[in-house]
C-alpha cells in the first residue's frame, strides 16, 4: 500500500509540470494582452475622427 501511494505521489510531479507548461505556452501564444487592446482601441478612435 505504501509503494502504491509513493508511486502515485511521484507521478504527480511530471503531471503538474506538463499542466503548468501547457498553461504557460497557451498564455504566451495568445495574441496581445489587455494593454495592447486598449492601445489599439485608442489608435483606432484617433484614426476615425
- The DSSP result for 1-49, as a single string, is -HHHHHHHHHHHHHHHHHHHHHHHHHHHHSS--HHHHHHHHHHHHHHH-
Q: Give per-residue pLDDT as tens, 15-47.
A: 999 999 999 999 888 888 888 989 999 999 998
- The yes-or-no verdict on residue 49 having pLDDT over 80 is no
- Residue ranges covered by each domain of the chain: 2-48
Q: For 18-30, b where at least 16 C-beta lie within 10 A, e where not — what string? A: eeeeeeeeeeeee
Q: Give per-residue pLDDT as tens, 4-13.
A: 999 999 999 9
Amino acid at each position: 500500500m505504501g509503494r502504491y501511494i509513493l508511486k502515485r505521489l511521484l507521478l504527480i510531479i511530471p503531471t503538474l509540470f506538463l499542466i503548468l507548461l501547457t498553461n504557460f505556452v497557451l498564455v504566451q501564444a495568445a495574441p496581445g494582452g489587455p494593454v495592447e487592446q486598449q492601445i489599439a482601441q485608442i489608435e483606432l478612435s484617433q484614426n476615425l475622427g
